[in-house]
A and B are shown apart, each in its own frame.
Chain A
Amino acid sequence: MSRNEGVMWAEKYRPQTLDDVVNLRDVIRSLKAFLRTPETMPHLLFAGMPGTGKTTVALCIARQLLGSSWRSFTLELNASDERGITMVRERVKSFARYGRRGLADIPYAIIILDESDQMTATAQTALRRIMETSSRFCRFILICNYSSKIIEPIQSRCAIFRFSPLQREDMVKYLMYITEKENLDLSNDAADLIAEFSEGDLRRAINILQTSATYEEGASINGKTVLRVVGQANPKQVQVMLSKALDGKFMEARDMLYDLMTTYSLSGVDIIRQIHKELYKLSYLSHEDQAELARIVGEYDFRLSQGANEDIQLSALLAQFAGFMKLKGGATSE
């Protein structure tokens, strides 16, 4: 295996069978029990932070249960792509019609619904009904970050599995495994840096790894390369926008907001999450200030979830920041 194929490593090195998955031993063990008697398997709910193996395990299950033509009997959906429960219902219905042929050899079709915690409660209620009416011939594998955002009636119909973030040692081991297969050298400090930047997200780690590998023409990846790659890949815009807002420069901050939402196509939720993260990196803010600002962020995050205009809500949030610092007696920007 050389690096001639151009496949993204996050995909190339995705485990194909449950045995290949390095961690998550307890999860795998329980799942294997279900897979021995597929008829007893209920709907599944996989909860965990990004890059912890949820989609990978779901696909492995599909492969194991459905055999070589598993793709024909697996439907992958994302809540953010589908944009509405009606679409989900339509796709499930068509899939059920389409997939009914040849159903003799397989226990049921599998529907993998990612980002299910991003669906509104109303949509989830409708989803529950869809799950009920299609349970004769389908099993749902719901994937989410926060199981608390999944409504009770769905949770009670699912076996819930928690995917914990990768331990640093496991991650470094996996990165080494990849670089070995790719005939590359990975320095220890590079591996450590990648593990740190990825914050337990293996997919992100592999992306950083691959980007670093293509960055230098040589066959070794060192810490400096990783730093440069991460520096280039991480958009600074949110940080700058936040600073401008806290500096009282509302109009400039709002212009940057529009840029993020239009040119970069970031959704309101993505931006708010990043604001929340960046907030804690601002060292010139006292802990109380950070907490108060975080509370405000939470308030606007909630309003956003009520189906309001993203640009109005985020502009309002920036305005709160601008007003807040004025109240505190002048901003202290970097």
Chain B
Amino acid sequence: MRVLNKDEFKLPYLGKEKFGQLMKIGLEYERGLFYIRNISNIESIKDALSEILNEKVVFTQRCLICGKEFLCLDCKYYETCSSRDLPFHCICKKCSDKDDLYDRYVEKSKQRAKT
């Protein structure tokens, strides 16, 4: 299984052909690091990536509240979440258990909007 952070990740040397395929499916490359900017087709990118690398690919999640990076695997909703392992924002377990999660979320949203 390969865990990737969509904003910057490294891959082992794959050769010219596979590299070309990666560029085709929507990856971008700069100074040794890959990243994915446009995630509107992220489902197909993930599938294509898995095929090219010949292993399961999962993306890390970023917590909207505390900013931490975490994996979907640890989440209790793993079975039913339709976007699991895809690189979206979410709430980490620790923040999920807080009572005032909703208020914090709205607060953070407002902060993010200001930037």
A and B touch in the complex (CB under 8 A): no
